[in-house]
Chain A
Amino acid sequence: GDSVTQMEGPVTLSEEAFLTINCTYTATGYPSLFWYVQYPGEGLQLLLKATKADDKGSNKGFEATYRKETTSFHLEKGSVQVSDSAVYFCALTLILNNAGNMLTFGGGTRLMVKP
């Protein structure tokens, strides 16, 4: 079945450090890929997405490129802030035959940024 694997956390960085969170996937079809972020006590917020190979999703300084050849969608940010501390989830979805969709999530990576 479809699956998403992301690096386990927690990832602890100092402010202004470079961030990479690895994400790889296995899918039977051609998925769309997402990064969601969850702040304490809240639901999930879409951070960025990519729908086809070589697409780069970007938002709030975060970027991820859809790499079909390596089945990866690694999240990067050049300079993290304390406010980026959260749990990050990589996810995929396939548009099903009945036009439904459901997300398959990775296990989440907790990021802690220290001042």
Chain B
Amino acid sequence: KAGVTQTPRYLIKTRGQQVTLSCSPISGHRSVSWYQQTPGQGLQFLFEYFSETQRNKGNFPGRFSGRQFSNSRSEMNVSTLELGDSALYLCASSLGLASSGANVLTFGAGSRLTVL
């Protein structure tokens, strides 16, 4: 079955602009999580969406936002970009149900954002 698809794979923006990243989860997966990966801070959790609702949120400023659609596809948006937002943004999907035990996340290849 198809994996987690993230678009675009690479993009370059300038400070002050905004960006929208897209994630299509594995079919049947209702949870989508977003992570930021940088050399300095490593992998950090941004937020998780389940059935179109934000279920958990990491410690990021309000410039980072997201949403999930009825087909479980998710988008994240970063407004007023700063140089420090340059990172690899990873999306992961899972079934999202507690009854499934340890929810295993399947990651996409990521969207690499460069802010100039």
Q: Does A99 contact B90, Cβ atoms closer than 8 Å?
A: no
Contact B90 A44 (CB under 8 A): yes
Number of A-B contacts (CB under 8 A): 70
Known contacts A46-B104, A93-B103; decide if A99 and B96 are in contact (CB<8 Å): yes
**Within the complex, what minimum Cβ distance (angstroms) separates B10 from chain A?**
10
Q: Is the CB of A43 within 8 A of B101?
A: no
Other-chain residue from B33, B101, B110 in contact with A102 (beta carbon distance below 8 A): B33
A47: shortest Cβ distance to chain B, in Å? 11
Q: For the complex, is B8 an interface residue (Cβ under 8 Å from A)?
A: no
**B56 on the A face (CB < 8 A):** yes
| A98 at the binding interface (Cβ < 8 Å) | yes
B56 and A96 contacting across the interface, CB-CB below 8 Å: yes
Contact of B48 among A43, A44, A102, A106 (CB under 8 A): A102
A42-B109, A98-B55 known; A49+B31 contact, CB < 8 A = no
Q: Is A115 an interface residue (CB 8 A)?
A: no
Q: For B96, what are the chain A residues with a Cβ–Cβ distance below 8 Å?
A: 99-101
> Could you tell me the distance between the alpha carbons of A102 and B42 in the complex, rounded to whole angstroms?
15
Contacts of B92 in A (CB 8 A): 44, 103
A95 — nearest CB in chain B belongs to which residue? Answer: B98
The interface residues of chain B lying within 8 Å CB-to-CB of A34 are 104
CB interface residues, A 31-71, toward B, < 8 Å = 32, 34, 36, 41-46, 49, 51
**Chain B residues, CB < 8 A from A105:** 42-43
In the assembly, what is the distance between CA of A103 and CA of B101, in Å? 14
Residues on A close to B: CB < 8 A? 32, 34, 36, 41-46, 49, 51, 89, 93, 95-96, 98-108
User: Known contacts A95-B98, A102-B56; can you find 9 more A-B pairs with CB under 8 A?
Assistant: A43-B90, A45-B107, A46-B105, A93-B103, A95-B103, A100-B96, A102-B48, A103-B92, A103-B105
> Can you show 19 pairs from A to B with CB atoms below 8 A apart?
A32-B101, A43-B90, A43-B108, A43-B110, A49-B104, A51-B102, A89-B43, A95-B98, A95-B103, A98-B55, A98-B56, A100-B31, A100-B55, A101-B103, A102-B33, A102-B56, A103-B92, A103-B105, A105-B43
